[in-house]
């Protein structure tokens, strides 16, 4: 065995660390990224859209837990599907998964550029984007433990801000007026399609639980720790998103105001909370400025964790030969991190200088829902078909629950905007073409990790 093959990523992460990792990936203040867009789509029913997405994510998160117990690997959905449906299907799911993982760091970098440029209009976005990419890439090369320490501080600061926001809203709204408190959650049938369309977009807000599974090879007792962290992260994030969006609708119920400037809706909502609580327009502006600072900091944390996650997927695909091993499967001798993959993602993220926010969101949503659907299917295939489990508990947890997850993810997937579906299909076509070239028209299978290597990794 060569020195490079003998290297293993260090197992240093625990349940609390993984939860902070997942929350940093999601960005607690990230609820405001799509706040205006989904509020308009749902006609002022963002909390309902979040409830639908949370339910869907819980079923899918449970499927991730079932697969992580058996295959605690860095490749996440790619590894699960590859080991259950075979190399070809696994590669296509991994390829689709690259959409949400590869473009999420770009979303964070672009968001930092947009907000900082809005704050300092005389400085071009590129002057904020490029230094951020350099810093995040360097931190990921140094190791995931350093990234985790920074995540804890940043997450706590965001939670403090959200606590203040909720406190201001609660003390500025008449909570005893039924019409006021029921407005954000009462809807009619004609609004359902918009709510579903918004729910599909909100899937990107929950991608942190999926990212947790990519850190399995750096986690202590991964078979127990990762599933626990996945479920807790989804619940914590879901409750937080629903609560913040609900009070946001209470403090600023006129969602029609956001139709022509949905990108800046969050600033208006936060400013309204500060203005009502202090009774001062100046106070509202100051609170908005604090929000922008906290938001940019949170997005920076998300950039660190999202880049760490896509790098682990590229590492898994490189280790199994789906991507060039000499680049994507190589670990740094000192830091034991896949440094060439990290550099690749950093260079690719420069595309944020020339792409729109709408296109990035579309790509992320398509890739996430595609991967989620196949993870649910992988549970059924692995436990029910391959292992032929027939006891009542397994039929419930590994057949009924993932089957519901499939229905819900496909439901949201087909509710995406047409542009998102078109971009996703084009991406899959490119993946199929690359696969056919790689396997010479099905004359051979893509190389994969052996059972012996798999045993060494997960034990």
Cβ neighbourhood burial of 100 (10 Å; 0-12, 13-18, 19+): buried
Q: At what angle do helices 126-142 and 144-170 cross, to 10 degrees?
A: 130
Per-residue pLDDT of 84-133, as tens digits, reads 888 788 888 878 877 777 888 888 898 888 878 877 889 988 999 999 99
| CA gap 356, 288 in Å, rounded | 24
- Cα distances (Å, whole numbers) of residue 180 to 51, 175, 192, 246, 273: 19, 7, 21, 11, 16
Quick count: other Cβ atoms within 10 Å of Cβ 331? 21
In angstroms, how far is CA 317 from the centroid of its own chain?
19
Give me the mean pLDDT over the 236-241 stretch: 92
Q: Mind listing the pLDDT tens digit for each residue in 167-216?
A: 999 988 887 888 888 888 888 878 888 898 889 888 878 877 877 876 77
Residue 345: pLDDT band with limits 50, 70, 90: confident
Q: In which region does residue 321 sit, left (phi positive, over 0), alpha (psi from -120 to 50) or beta (all else)? A: left
Q: Please, which residues have CB within 8 angstroms of residue 315's CB and are 6 or more apart in sequence? A: 74, 328, 329, 338, 341
What per-residue confidence (pLDDT) applies to 251? 92
Q: What is the mean pLDDT of the chain?
A: 81
Q: Which 3 state secondary structure label does DSSP give 221?
A: coil
The predicted structure's pLDDT at residue 4: 46
Per-residue pLDDT at 232: 92
pLDDT of 75? 58
Closest CA to 57 of 246, 202, 227, 224: 202
Among 78-87, 159-168, 265-274, 364-373, the minimum mean pLDDT is found in 78-87
Predicted model pTM: 0.79
CB 421 within 8 Å of CB 366: yes
Give the separation between CA 357 and CA 116, rounded to whole angstroms: 15
Report residue 39's pLDDT band, with 50, 70 and 90 as the boundaries.
Answer: very high
- Given a cut of 60, whether residue 459 has pLDDT beyond it is no
Asked if residue 48 has pLDDT above 70, the reply is: yes
Per the CB < 8 A criterion, the answer to whether 25 and 300 are in contact is no
Q: How far is CA 140 from the centre of its chain?
A: 18
Alpha helices in 143-280 (DSSP H): 144-170, 178-182, 192-201, 207-213, 222-251, 265-278
């Amino acid at each position: 065995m060569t020195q490079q093959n003998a290297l293993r990523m260090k197992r240093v992460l625990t349940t609390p660390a993984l939860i902070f990792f997942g929350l940093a990936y999601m960005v607690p203040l990230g609820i405001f990224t799509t706040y205006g867009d989904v509020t308009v789509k749902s006609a002022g029913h963002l909390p309902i859209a979040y409830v639908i997405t949370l339910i869907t994510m819980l079923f899918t998160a449970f499927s991730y837990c079932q697969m992580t117990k058996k295959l605690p690997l860095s490749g996440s959905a790619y590894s699960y599907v590859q080991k259950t449906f075979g190399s070809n299907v696994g590669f296509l799911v991994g390829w689709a998964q690259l959409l949400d993982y590869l473009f999420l760091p770009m979303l964070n970098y672009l968001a930092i550029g947009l907000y900082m440029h809005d704050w300092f209009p005389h400085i071009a976005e590129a002057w904020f984007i490029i230094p951020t990419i350099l810093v995040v890439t360097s931190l990921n090369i140094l190791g995931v433990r350093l990234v985790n320490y920074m995540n804890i501080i940043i997450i706590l600061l965001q939670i403090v801000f959200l606590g203040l926001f909720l406190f201001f809203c609660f003390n500025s709204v008449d909570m005893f007026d039924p019409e006021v408190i029921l407005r954000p959650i009462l809807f009619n049938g004609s609004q359902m399609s918009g709510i579903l369309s918004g729910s599909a977009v909100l899937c990107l807000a929950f991608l942190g639980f999926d990212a947790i599974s990519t850190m399995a090879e750096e986690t202590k007792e991964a078979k127990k720790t990762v599933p626990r962290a996945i479920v807790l992260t989804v619940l914590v994030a879901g409750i937080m998103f629903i609560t913040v969006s609900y009070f946001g609708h209470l403090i600023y119920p006129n969602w029609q105001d956001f139709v022509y400037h949905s990108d800046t809706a969050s600033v208006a909502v936060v400013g309204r909370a500060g203005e009502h609580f202090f009774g001062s327009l100046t106070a509202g502006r100051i609170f908005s400025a604090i929000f922008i600072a906290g938001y940019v900091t949170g997005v920076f944390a998300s950039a660190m964790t999202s880049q760490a996650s896509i790098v682990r997927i590229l590492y898994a695909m490189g280790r199994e030969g789906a991507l060039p091993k000499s680049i994507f499967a190589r670990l740094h001798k000192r830091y034991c991190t896949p440094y060439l993959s990290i550099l690749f993602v950093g260079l690719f993220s420069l595309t944020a200088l020339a792409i729109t926010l709408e296109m990035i969101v579309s790509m992320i949503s398509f890739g996430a829902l595609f991967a989620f659907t196949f993870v649910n299917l992988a549970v059924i295939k692995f436990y029910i078909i391959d292992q032929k489990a027939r006891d009542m508990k397994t039929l419930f947890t590994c057949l009924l629950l993932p089957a519901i997850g499939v229905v819900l993810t496909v439901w949201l997937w087909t509710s995406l905007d047409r542009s998102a579906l078109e971009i996703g299909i084009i991406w899959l076509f490119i993946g199929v073409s690359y696969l056919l070239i790689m396997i010479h028209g099905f004359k051979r299978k893509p190389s994969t990790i052996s059972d012996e290597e798999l045993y060494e990794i997960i034990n």
